[in-house]
Amino acid sequence: MRITIFGATGLLGQALMREWAEDEVTGLGSKDADIRNLLQVLDAVRRTRPERIVLAAAYTDVDGCETQPQLAFAVNRDGAVNVALAAKQHRSRLLFVSTDYVFDGIKTTPYEVQDERAPRSVYGRSKAEAEVRLREILPECCMVRTSWLFGTGGKCFPDTILKLAQSRPELQVVNDQRGSPTYATDLARAIIQLCRKNATGIVHATNRGDCTWFEFAQEIVQHAGLVTPVLPTTSDKFPRPAERPKYSVLSPQSLAAYGVTMPTWQNALERYLTARRGQG
Ligand SMILES: NC(=O)c1ccc[n+]([C@@H]2O[C@H](COP(=O)([O-])OP(=O)(O)OC[C@H]3O[C@@H](n4cnc5c(N)ncnc54)[C@H](OP(=O)(O)O)[C@@H]3O)[C@@H](O)[C@H]2O)c1
């Protein structure tokens, strides 16, 4: 199979490039093709002639999206539309990576794929609008929503916590947002399986289990063998430009329907810490 990945230089994109064997994969960063530019996207797809496109490119700075909404919609919605138009023209299948932030977080049980979108942030709105537009352009498109991504090769929560735990006497971390941390390597493997199975429609893919950011931080510090105290706090003590959902656990049912299961987030964290140590 010939695959083209937009966003190959990002956290997930790098994991996809590492994990994807047996196929002919081309990875593109924003320098190779800016998805805001339809001509560049069409040209990239014409050159690489993919049977399958994975769209992992996005403007992922959730707070930055609040201050730069035009950029957020230009990349996350209109850029995704450009890729979908190119996929349609070249008859390529498309897998689009989306987010738990399309939900408002008022549920207290895991979000199912048919639950209504109600984003509270510009980032969430830009991705939610992309989902709607992509469905119109390519009804067979697969949209994989994930959450709380971490991995080697970029900024992520565990990396930040480890650095802070080594430089501060104690850490305060919010304990009122619950979700599922997801290791980029595990998500990449799930995406590859979904592509092999020609998955369509919305699929929720995260590591199994859930926690708050505080619980996640506690586990990170403990697993790394550090003794820095981690203290729980609340979001109102750390106001940020973008509102985050209080609860954004995604149900694994849609993924299980394709016979795919993902490891627990604690298991994923252990493998991440080993990989991070290996990077020196
Ligand atoms: N991070 C999370 O916690 C999280 C949670 C849920 C869902 N997601 C979704 O998962 C996907 C992957 O996220 P990630 O964390 O791996 O992202 P990331 O590390 O921030 O990487 C973003 C990628 O998008 C590319 N990109 C940005 N603007 C572009 C443009 N105008 N044209 C072409 N490419 C552009 C970047 O290319 P360059 O580096 O070459 O500029 C990079 O490859 C995204 O769709 C994101 O919305 C992420």
- Residue 279: pLDDT band by 50, 70, 90 thresholds? confident
> Does this model's pTM top 0.95?
yes
- In terms of Cβ atoms closer than 10 Å to its own Cβ (0-12, 13-18, 19+), residue 246 is middle
Residues near ligand 1 (Cβ within 6 A) = 6-13, 29-31, 34-36, 56-60, 75, 79, 97, 99, 127, 146-149, 154
Kindly list the catalytic residues.
123
> Which whole-number Å values give the CA distances from 233 to 140, 219, 226, 239, in the listed order?
43, 16, 20, 12
Q: Atom 12 of ligand 1 has which residue's CA nearest to it?
A: 56
CA–CA separation, 102 vs 98, rounded Å?
8
Query: How confident is the prediction for the chain on average, in pLDDT?
Result: 97
pLDDT, tens only, 92-106: 999 999 999 999 999
pLDDT, tens only, 71-124: 999 999 999 999 999 999 999 999 999 999 999 999 999 999 999 999 999 999
CA–CA separation, 174 vs 168, rounded Å?
17
| 251 conformational bin, left if phi > 0, alpha if psi -120 to 50, beta if neither | beta
Task: Taking residues 24-43, report their average pLDDT.
Answer: 98
Do residues 83 and 39 make contact, with C-beta atoms less than 8 angstroms apart?
A: no
pLDDT, tens only, 238-259: 889 999 999 999 999 999 999 9
Whether 280 shows a pLDDT value over 70: the answer reads no
